[in-house]
Amino acid sequence: MKSAPRAFTLGVMALYLNGGKLEELSFFRSLLREAARQGIEAYVFTPEDVADDKRRIYAHVYDESRGGWRRRWMPFPDVVFDRCRYQNTPRFRKLREFRARYGDLLYVNRPLANKSAIHTLLSKDKEIRPHLPETVMYRGVKELADFVRKHGIAFVKPINGTGGRGVVRIERDGSGRYIVRGRDKRRRIIPKRRVGLESAGRLLERLGLNENCLLQQGIELTLPNGRVHDYRLLMQKTGDGRWDATGCAGRVGAARSVTSNLHGGGKAVSVDRLLKHTFPKGSQAETVKADMIALGHRVVERLESHFRDMCELALDLAVDRAGRVWLLEINPKPAREVFRRIGEAETYRRAIARPVEYARWLYEKEK
């Protein structure tokens, strides 16, 4: 007879925003509920909540009976689910210190490298390489002009950007001027400009996009209605430690936006509907979907072999008019909201349950 699994404590690691609030509280509540349903004690904490004696944590727990978050002293977690997104702040340094100091805890995920380093790593894989838009570090307008000439469209974006902040699209119009549009680093839409090459360079500089940015081949993703679109594929480990594609969703950008991110006003749509819409004929939609999932598996395996075990990753995928799948970006701390928005309640539920199931599997394996 199989003995009952030993109980363990799951710590969801977050960072305070300025003002001491936590992000993602509704996701955390769902996660803690799911853990409770699986008989696992779970709480949310930040590296700032560790007691001076380094033995306890002043955790955030959800009180179901009274409905609301409470603080409670808890022992250190056995397994940590890290939800902290990269930020260039002292707070993030505390997170690094926590991971370094408590390296003997089990972590279900880990920080990846910046977008440039990820690109370099993935481009070494000959199955992944054909899916990568040409990408270099942005150094100035000369290369920008080369990229636009070669690819028709170029993107400039920060190597540590998230949520569509500081993403700019550059192409040429019929008269040889450069059309520049996108989002500034606070995600506000930059109105379309037609400028000469040098002015385009100065504009990027004013936007703070002259340093630590990628220059990337742009993929034409504009739908007949003028909006851009792409796909979000969520890859997760299951409760027996295997990778699976939990779900995929389409995203359609806001009007006048070159990005599709939901936080920038993008709309979530069903993957099948969006693929059918772009590939109405025959079985091409099915082929594209299979290609996306195969790429997802290849990418997680490749990254895992370099960064060690992880529990989930989301891929931002573009599909061009010929049906070729392009990998735009890897998200190590993916949101799963997109599945709720498209009404896929079961996918959403699974997307929350899986990290908890995997945490249990990892704990059982390691103890």
Ligand X SMILES: Nc1ncnc2c1ncn2[C@@H]1O[C@H](COP(=O)(O)OP(=O)(O)O)[C@@H](O)[C@H]1O
Q: Any contact of residue 168 with ligand X (CB under 6 A)?
A: no
Q: Which one of 95, 118, 167, 311 is in contact with ligand X (CB under 6 A)?
A: 167
Q: What is the DSSP letter of 256?
A: T
- Examine residue 318 and tell whether it contacts ligand X (CB under 6 A): yes
Closest approach of Cβ 304 to ligand X, in Å?
20
Instruction: Determine which helix (DSSP H) or strand (DSSP E) holds 313, and give its type and residue range.
Output: strand 312-319
Counting contacts by CB under 5 A, is residue 78 touching Mg ion?
no
* Residue 46 sits in the site that holds ligand X (CB under 6 A): no
**Nearest C-alpha neighbor of 26 from the set 80, 72, 66, 62:** 62
Q: What is the DSSP letter of 318?
A: E
Handedness of CA 202, 208, 211, 216 (dihedral sign): negative
Strands lying side by side in the sheet with 135-137:
135-137, 213-217, 153-158, 168-172, 178-183, 189-195
Binding residue (CB under 6 A) for ligand X from 47, 218, 332, 334 = 218
The residue length of the chain stands at: 367
Q: Figure out which of the listed residues 82, 312, 316, 344 binds Mg ion, where binding follows CB under 5 A.
A: 316
Candidates 122-130, 326-334, 336-344, 355-363; binding stretch for Mg ion (CB under 5 A): 326-334
Q: How far is the CB of 326 from ligand X (least distance, A)?
A: 7
CA 121 to chain centre: 17
Tell me how far apart the alpha carbons of residues 236 and 254 are, in angstroms, rounded to a whole number: 28
What minimum distance in Å lies between the beta carbon of 146 and ligand X? 15
Candidate segments 96-104, 162-170, 173-181, 285-293, binder of ligand X by CB under 6 A: 162-170
**By CB under 6 A, is residue 116 in contact with ligand X?**
no
Using CB under 6 A as the binding criterion, the count of chain residues that bind ligand X stands at: 23
**144 vs 197: CA distance, rounded Å:** 9
Taking the C-alpha atoms of residue 37 and residue 137, their distance in angstroms, rounded to an integer, is 46
Q: Does 230 engage in binding with Mg ion (CB under 5 A)? A: no
> 129 to 158, contacts with ligand X by CB under 6 A?
133, 155, 157
> Which residues lie near Mg ion (CB under 5 A)?
316, 329
